[in-house]
């Protein structure tokens, strides 16, 4: 095994080098504090690996994303979301018999208790759907206490999640919730529970969107799920924490922010160039939502696929002349041409196009991130399961460099 050397305060230390199956190199600093009395300092973890994982591989420079070795392009074209759920959670693509059994398990657990529907309805109408989803998720531990049968708990969660999304959507439209009727066909069932009807175009769009969002290795929400799971909080609590982490505009919440930004530009006269300048002005906090990515510094492979789907959906719905979408196209064009964006490798990411599709489908903006969560669920579960299966798993507990005052005495209040 290759070694890495570190010289600190005149002493040399040696660390193991670990190499992943795609040649990724990591220095194992887990003994750094014990041996060198120092910690690795990497706020935001840009150079830190928190685990080794066999689930998802990303090469951000080359725009590669693979789930368990299968390219995202291949999966989007040649598999279904049900197969991808199976792949992520169980490790391999299913054969025909396995898929049949998986579908019937999903159907068996697809309904949700009426009490849970009532609980959702009782939540304040002003509550963001991500907050509602997170609270429902934690409540599941009351309805279905974890049994110790991990596979059973996982199937139940995978099967029911689409009902919570449909419930939130129908609630936002003032419509009654409809239980699953066709649970063996996950996507068709979901589309019917949402819109009361389905079509091949809708099913294809949702199938692709969910596949593209299914996992993304150690991003903010997946790391949160692992972090919370490492305390041995149960599956539902761990996944609820992932929902909360996804909510923020720098993560999954960006798809909502994309449309809000496009509408803001439209209401301000539709001048995209004004906002392009604002995005480049360092004294201005404005950022182009749906642009840039921590890992992809070339292009987001999911965005390439979803851009085609977005064009098809807009074409299908006769929306190719929509004013908001014209602004989106102007921003996209600028990002490909203007020096600021080119120099920083800022391209539209998957959220840019998914927001556009959801808007075209009439999904309320604040529901966009909930759609993302539906897709991401199997990824979170796979990450949680992998962490749980780790024989040497310990609670996640980062260190810090303390920069506050050194020890001082509490003065009497009259002297402060």
- Of 126, 117, 86, nearest to 103 by C-alpha is 86
Shortest approach of ligand ACO to residue 346 CB, angstroms? 5
Q: How far apart are CA 10 and CA 229, in angstroms?
A: 39
User: Look-up: residue for tokens 């449309």?
Assistant: 259
Residue whose CB is less far from ligand ACO, 195 or 352 = 352
What is the binding site for ligand ACO (CB under 6 A)? 250-252, 254, 279, 287-294, 344, 346, 349-351
Q: How far apart are CA 265 and CA 237, in angstroms?
A: 38
Residue whose CB is less far from ligand ACO, 181 or 333 = 333
Answer yes or no: are the C-beta atoms of 310 and 78 closer than 8 Å. no
Shortest approach of ligand ACO to residue 393 CB, angstroms? 26
Residue whose CB is less far from ligand ACO, 169 or 291 = 291
Shortest approach of ligand ACO to residue 353 CB, angstroms? 11
Give me the catalytic one of 322, 351, 366, 396.
351
Q: How far apart are CA 254 and CA 288, in angstroms?
A: 10
Residue whose CB is less far from ligand ACO, 128 or 287 = 287
Nearest-CB residue for ligand ACO: 292
Write out the DSSP string of 312-358.
Answer: HHHHHTT-TT-HHHHHHHHHHHHHHH-HHHHHTT--B-HHHHHHHHH
Q: How far apart are CA 199 and CA 188, in angstroms?
A: 8
Give me the catalytic one of 293, 311, 316, 366.
293
Angle subtended at Cα 387 by Cα 384 and Cα 388, rounded to the nearest 5 degrees: 85
- Of 204, 252, 220, nearest to 370 by C-alpha is 252
Shortest approach of ligand ACO to residue 261 CB, angstroms? 10
Residue whose CB is less far from ligand ACO, 160 or 376 = 376
User: Using the 8-state DSSP alphabet, how is residue 14 labeled?
Assistant: E
Residue whose CB is less far from ligand ACO, 193 or 214 = 214
Shortest approach of ligand ACO to residue 212 CB, angstroms? 10
Phi/psi for 29 (5° steps) reads -95, 15
351 is catalytic: yes
Residue 235: CB partners within 8 Å, gap ≥ 6? Answer: 146, 150, 153, 154, 157, 229, 381, 384
Classify 56 as helix, strand or coil: strand
151 is catalytic: no
Shortest approach of ligand ACO to residue 36 CB, angstroms? 28
Q: Annotated catalytic sites, by residue?
A: 293, 351
């Amino acid at each position: 095994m290759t070694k890495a050397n570190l010289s600190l305060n005149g002493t040399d230390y040696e660390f193991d080098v670990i190499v992943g199956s795609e040649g990724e190199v990591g220095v194992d600093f887990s003994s750094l504090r014990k041996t060198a009395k120092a910690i690795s300092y990497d706020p935001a973890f840009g150079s830190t690996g928190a685990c080794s994982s066999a689930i998802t591989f990303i090469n951000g420079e080359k725009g590669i994303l693979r789930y368990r070795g299968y390219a995202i392009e291949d999966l989007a074209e040649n598999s279904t979301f049900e197969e991808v759920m199976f792949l992520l959670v169980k490790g391999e693509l299913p054969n025909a018999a396995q898929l049949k059994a998986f579908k019937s398990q999903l159907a068996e657990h697809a309904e949700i208790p009426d009490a849970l529907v009532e609980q959702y309805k009782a939540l304040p109408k002003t509550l963001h759907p991500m907050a509602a989803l997170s609270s429902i998720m934690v409540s599941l531990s009351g309805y279905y206490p974890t049994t110790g049968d991990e596979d059973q708990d996982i199937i139940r969660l995978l099967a029911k999640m689409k009902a919570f999304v449909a419930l939130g959507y129908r609630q936002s439209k003032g419509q009654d919730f409809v239980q699953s009727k066709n649970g063996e066909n996950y996507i068709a069932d979901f589309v019917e529970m949402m819109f009361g009807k389905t079509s091949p175009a809708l099913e294809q769009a949702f199938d692709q969107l969910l596949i593209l969002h299914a996992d993304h290795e150690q991003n903010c929400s997946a790391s949160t799920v692992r972090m919370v799971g490492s305390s041995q909080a149960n599956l539902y609590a761990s996944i609820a924490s992932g929902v909360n982490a996804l909510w923020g505009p720098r993560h999954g919440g960006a798809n909502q922010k994309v449309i809000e930004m496009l509408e803001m530009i439209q209401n301000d006269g539709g001048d995209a160039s004004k906002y392009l300048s604002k995005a480049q002005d360092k004294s201005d906090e404005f950022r182009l939502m749906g642009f840039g990515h921590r890992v992809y510094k070339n292009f987001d492979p999911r965005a390439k696929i979803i851009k085609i789907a977005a064009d098809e959906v807009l074409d299908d719905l006769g929306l190719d002349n929509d004013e908001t979408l014209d602004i989106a196209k102007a921003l996209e064009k600028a990002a490909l041409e203007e020096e600021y964006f080119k120099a920083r490798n800022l391209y539209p990411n998957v959220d840019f196009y998914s927001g556009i599709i959801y808007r075209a489908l009439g999904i309320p903006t604040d529901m966009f991130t909930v759609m993302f969560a539906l897709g991401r669920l199997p990824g979170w579960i796979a990450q949680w399961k992998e962490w749980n299966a780790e024989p040497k798993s310990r609670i996640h507990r980062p260190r810090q460099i303390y920069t506050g005052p050194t020890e001082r005495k509490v003065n009497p209040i009259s002297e402060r």
